[in-house]
Amino acid sequence: MKSIFTLAALLCATWANAQGVYQIPNSDFEGDWTTNERGQYVEVTPESWNSFYKAQGSATGLAFLVKGQIGPLSKASEAHSGTGAALITSVENMIGTISNGNLTTGIVNMGNTTADNPENYNFSDMSSEDGCCKFLGLPDAVRFWVKFDSKDPSMGNASANMILHTDAGYSDPSTRMGVEAEAASRIAKAFQEITPNNSWVEYVVPFIYNENDLYQSYKGQKYLLASFSTNKTPGKGTGGDALAVDDIQMIYYSDLSSLSYDGKEYFNSDNTNYTIDAVYDASKLNCTSNGKGATIEKEYDRKTGVLTITVKGNDFSEEPTNVHTYTVQFKQPKSVTSYSNSLLVNAFGSYTAPTQNDIYLIQEADDSYSFLLEDFFFNKVSMGNIEILNLKHENVNNTVVYSAESQMVYIQGLGTALPVSLEATQKGEDMTADIHIVMGQDAEVVVTFLPSLVLSGQDKVEAMANRYNVTLSRTFVKGWNTICLPYTTTPAALGAKSVQEFVSVDEGGLNFAEVETLEANKPYLIYFDKDITTPVYAVGEITSTTPVAVTKGDYTFVGSYDAVISMSSKYGVATIDDVQKVILGGKNATLKATRAYFTKKGELPAQVRINLFGESGNGTTGIVQMENNGVQTYDVYTLQGVQVLKGASSLNGLQKGIYIVNGKKVVIK
């Protein structure tokens, strides 16, 4: 999962670098207008658009020397909507030819005094924010409104040209680029001739995408070069031809265009609800959208047999209403049985807190069985559903085992299909399950659906023989603690630095040796290098909740699963004057669950050493001796001087706080 999450992050970063919009900025011309002068030329320029004022090229200097040699851009006196519309006008220049009016999102290059020379063109100046239109969308069509006053309609029509291109750049007209260069750069094109009219006319022009499907393979920054001209042919027309432009809108379709199942076409443009008399099989369904960049999302509800198809337009992130929904009713299942349990996710040994989930066992209309886990989470991220089909099943002694091996399942949260295996056991009204999601070689995520067992260290441990999703929420102090758990685990799983078992007794004391596994129900000393307060999660198999007593000589080490027991005449681990010792409990001392204590037959010795790491006679880790009730007593006062214990043999049972013990300040944790 780590590798997939890393890959997803890289993909997000790649797309984040692409900038732009889904609509041309100021496409309704209601933004700011600026009056610009260049030589004898005066231009009123709408925000995000250009004409000749910013023109480049070797012939620009000559063009601006004499007034009226190039067509002006101005604000139209009448708008289609609002108060703004752009007006471009052609002029007859001093050499008797026509300079067309020009409106573009790019920059005008004036490379020659002859209008139809290939060095005269509009282009996306990608080195300048003002000279190009960075674009994100894959539009299906463009809508705009125009009014065209032609002085001589026989001289030709005006034109609108929209080019979606790559960062290789683009020139309009593209004759200077060459056929191969244009094909490599142009993603899509929308071109429209505009006929003369005396009122506002709407045009809806489709974008034609390259047959090489560049829109699919290209992942870099896109640009939209939009150009309007008073004549489709450079240098043609009549002086005074005027083209007004307003309300340009990119259109993104979000409808289905086909819907077939098992080779049969069902789509009807007037229908959004369908019924197909078959058991749903995703591999047999095929549907397409009329939107080039639209996304199609399919969600099948196995409990009802309803498939919901959602088509989102390419601009859905900015226009969330651009969506169409279709439903397909397939054969309903014969039965749907739900089971509830806790769900624990283990990704490469890392657990997150278990959640309560339902799973469904579904008997399909064709009598096959399916397994459904709905919307499970890992690390607060939704992974979506897990659906496993065509389960094998075997009934043994009133227990049914359902299984599937290496079935490719789409994991929504990862955005990919992965091999998934399942083994689920159903007995009566209960079900448990193990799901293995293979992430790569020797890497998998394990999801367990099991009863929950919480070991708080405060409550009595009670559990029937079973496998559980275990939450160990007990706290541990820095240093040595006692522990006894009803399932097998390891020091690493608990976050411990060392675990020691009671192995022998000799003249030097009680001997402990380090172990790598904690056996179920067996008592241990466990060492942490810091206080532990966060829960630990695991899958534990419990066969018994009866602690195992470990006896060596006259000494016995035994765990306790009761909520609380008296420590009278029992030895336990405590901290006295910041030193951890094993002391004998007094009549008021108690011990909570999942801990352990020592007992001894016969006379209680005045002092017995604890030897750790198997080093007899050499107590090196903080617990240095056992002390009996006759060796030391404690007088305990609060900081306010109120006596709470007198002549006590133990400090066990004191609430957390700061006390004066035998004249010294002591912190009870």
Cα separation, 389 vs 372, in Å, equals 9
Q: Is the pLDDT of residue 606 over 90?
A: no
Mean pLDDT on 643-651: 72
Strands 579-584, 626-627: pairing kind:
parallel
The pTM is what? Answer: 0.72
Sketch out the chain's domains with CATH numbers.
33-251 (2.60.120.890), 256-329 (no CATH), 335-450 (2.40.128.350), 454-668 (no CATH)
The alpha carbon of 3 is separated from its chain's Cα centroid by a whole number of angstroms, namely 14
What is the radius of gyration, based on Cα positions, of the chain? 40
User: Measured at the alpha carbon of residue 192, what is the angle toward residues 187 and 196, in degrees to the nearest 5?
Assistant: 165
Phi-psi map region of 606: left, alpha, beta (phi>0 left; psi -120 to 50 alpha): alpha
Cα separation, 643 vs 666, in Å, equals 14
Task: Quickly state the pLDDT bin for 620 (edges 50, 70, 90).
Answer: very low
Q: Which pLDDT does position 615 carry in this prediction?
A: 47
Q: Which pLDDT does position 584 carry in this prediction?
A: 83
Per-residue pLDDT reduced to its tens digit, 193-213? 999 999 999 999 999 999 989
Strands 509-514, 610-611: pairing kind:
parallel
What six digits make up the tokens of 163? Answer: 């080019």
CA dihedral 317, 318, 322, 328 (to 10 degrees): 10
Give the whole-number percent of the chain exceeding pLDDT 90.
70
Helix, strand, coil tally for the chain in percent (to 5): 5, 50, 45
> Among 7-16, 83-92, 242-251, which stretch is predicted with the lowest mean pLDDT?
7-16
Q: Is the pLDDT of residue 7 over 80?
A: no
Cα separation, 254 vs 311, in Å, equals 5
Q: Which pLDDT does position 627 carry in this prediction?
A: 44
Cα separation, 264 vs 282, in Å, equals 14
Per-residue pLDDT reduced to its tens digit, 321-369? 999 999 999 999 999 999 999 999 998 888 989 999 999 999 999 999 9
Q: Is the pLDDT of residue 76 over 80?
A: yes
Q: Which pLDDT does position 618 carry in this prediction?
A: 42
Per-residue pLDDT reduced to its tens digit, 13-48? 333 356 789 999 999 999 999 999 998 899 999 999
Per-residue pLDDT reduced to its tens digit, 103-118? 999 999 999 988 889 9
Q: Which pLDDT does position 248 carry in this prediction?
A: 98
Q: Is the pLDDT of residue 183 over 70?
A: yes
Per-residue pLDDT reduced to its tens digit, 119-139? 999 999 999 999 999 999 999
